[in-house]
Amino acid sequence: MKLSTAIFYYLLFTICLAIPPIALQHNGYDDWLVAHFWLVFFYISGFTFLVVGLILFIQQKNKDYTTQAFLAGTTIKILACIFFIVIFSMKNKVNKYVFVGDFFYIYLLNMVFEVYVLLRNLRHKNLR
């Protein structure tokens, strides 16, 4: 998968991921979203964008380091998200159940996208 194709798919994915929270806000279910939800959304989505871009860039330069780049990027991403959770929960008073639900909605779906891109690239490599 080319880098430009992955960026397009990621932007499309992010828009689709943002539709349910927007629908919740407009239909009066604001209590299902944590305060500053969009900060959490754009932080995790931006970090995922950087990780996916880095993995694809490294794959184009040297295919031997793709797996190590994926593991390193995923590890750095989860550590950055843990630090974000700690800082966010210290600075903001939030309902912990709503926060966990919102966080895992964003994080897990972004992780699914990362794995999809990796598997698609590996499958494409095996077809050659």
Q: Residue 47: how many CB atoms within 10 A of its CB?
A: 19
Confidence of residue 52 (pLDDT cuts 50, 70, 90): confident
**65-114: per-residue pLDDT in tens?**
888 888 899 899 999 999 999 999 899 888 889 999 999 999 999 999 98
Beta-carbon contacts of residue 10 (< 8 Å; ≥ 6 apart): 48, 49, 52, 113
Amino acid at position 1, single letter: M
* Greatest pairwise CA separation for the chain in angstroms: 53
Residues of the chain above pLDDT 70, percent: 94
CA distances from 112 to 36, 89, 115 (A): 23, 25, 5
- Residue 15 scores a pLDDT above 60: yes
Q: Please, what is the angle between helix 96-127 and helix 37-61, to 10°?
A: 20
Give the pLDDT confidence score for residue 126 in this predicted structure: 52
pLDDT for res 28: 87
pLDDT on residue 109: 94
How much is the pLDDT for 107?
Answer: 95
- Residue 53's pLDDT band (cuts 50, 70, 90): confident
Global pTM? Answer: 0.86
Question: Tell me, what's the pLDDT at 127?
Answer: 52
**Band (62; pLDDT cuts 50, 70, 90):** confident
